[in-house]
Amino acid sequence: MNEKELFTVTAEEAGQRLDGFLAEAMEELSRSRIQNLCEDGRITVNGKAAKKNQKLKAGDVIEVEVPAPAPTEIVPQDIPLDIVYEDDSVLVINKPKGMVVHPAPGHPDGTVVNAVMFHCGARLSGIGGELRPGIVHRIDKDTSGLLMIAKNDKAHAALSAQLKDKSLSRVYEAIVIGRMRQDEGTVDAPIGRSLRDRKKMAVIEGGRHAVTHYETVARYNGYSHVRCHLETGRTHQIRVHMASIGHPLAGDEVYGKGREKTGLEGQCLHAGRLRFIHPDTGEAMEVTCPLPEYFTKFEEKLRLIAE
C-alpha cells in the first residue's frame, strides 16, 4: 500500500526548491529519489503536479505519494541477544545502546530484527510487515533496555491491543539536565512533527495526544535521575516531553545539549520495566532489567561530584 505524506510550507520555509525542502523533511528519501517521484507525478503542490525545482510559497500544501517498497529479504544474522524472557509466544530482550531495531536506510543489517530472525527462525509474527517481523513496539537506537517481540500473529495482535488500551506498561530510567524541583509530575502535551525542523518531533498544537508521568529518583549537581512512566507511546516521547519542561536528557544531541561534556554517546535513557498481560495465559507479567554500565558509570560520576 502506498503511503502519503502532507506538508504545509511555513513563512520561514518559503523560497526553497521543492526537492531541497523534501530532502530535508523526509530524511528517509534521497534527493534523487524525490526528483524521480516528481517525474512520476507522485508529488503535488496545491493539488497540481509539481516540478523538482519549483519554488515554494508560504501556505503551499505538498502531498507526496511514496510507493510501497518491494519486498526485501532480511538476512538472519547470528548476533548475540540478551534474552530476559522467552516462551512460545513472547520474547523480551535487553537491547544494547547503539543497536538499531529494524533495517532502514543506512542500517541494512546488524539490527535486532536480523538477530531475532536468526534466533527464532520462522517462528515470528508477520503483523509488523516485511521489515519489522514480530516487533510490537520500538525504542531508539541510542536507548537501551527492554524490547518485546511477538512470535505469532495472535500474540502480536493481543500485545498491540494492550499498547492501545494502555494495559501494557513501560517504565524508563533517565538522567536529565538540571535539578528537578518537583518530586513527581506529569507532562500532558501533544507531539507531532516539528514545524521548524521536520527531522525532529516537538510539542505542537494539533499533535497526537501524549502523556508522560515522571518521578525524581535522585538529584545531583546540574542533573537529576528521573523515572518515566509512559501513558502513550509517541515517537521520541520522553526526549521531547522532558526537553519541553526544560530538562532535556543528558547526551541527547537532537533535543538537548548533546555536546555537553558528559562522555555519553546519545541520550541517557533505559527501558527498565515492562508489565503486560500474557497473550496465552492471561497472567499479569512483569519483566525488568538492570541499569546498563554506561548509565551507572555516569550516575556514579555525578554522585562523586555532588559529594
Catalytic residues: 140
CA distance linking residue 134 with residue 123, whole number of Å: 9
Strand-pairing partners, residue 48, are: 45
CA distance linking residue 170 with residue 150, whole number of Å: 16
Residues 279, 84 contacting (CB under 8 angstroms): no
What angle (nearest 5°) sits at the alpha carbon of residue 20, between those of residues 16 and 23?
Answer: 140
CA distance linking residue 191 with residue 174, whole number of Å: 19
Cell numbers for 249? 536528557
* Residue closest to 65 by CA, chosen among 79, 47, 82: 47
CA distance linking residue 45 with residue 210, whole number of Å: 31
Strand-pairing partners, residue 7, are: 62
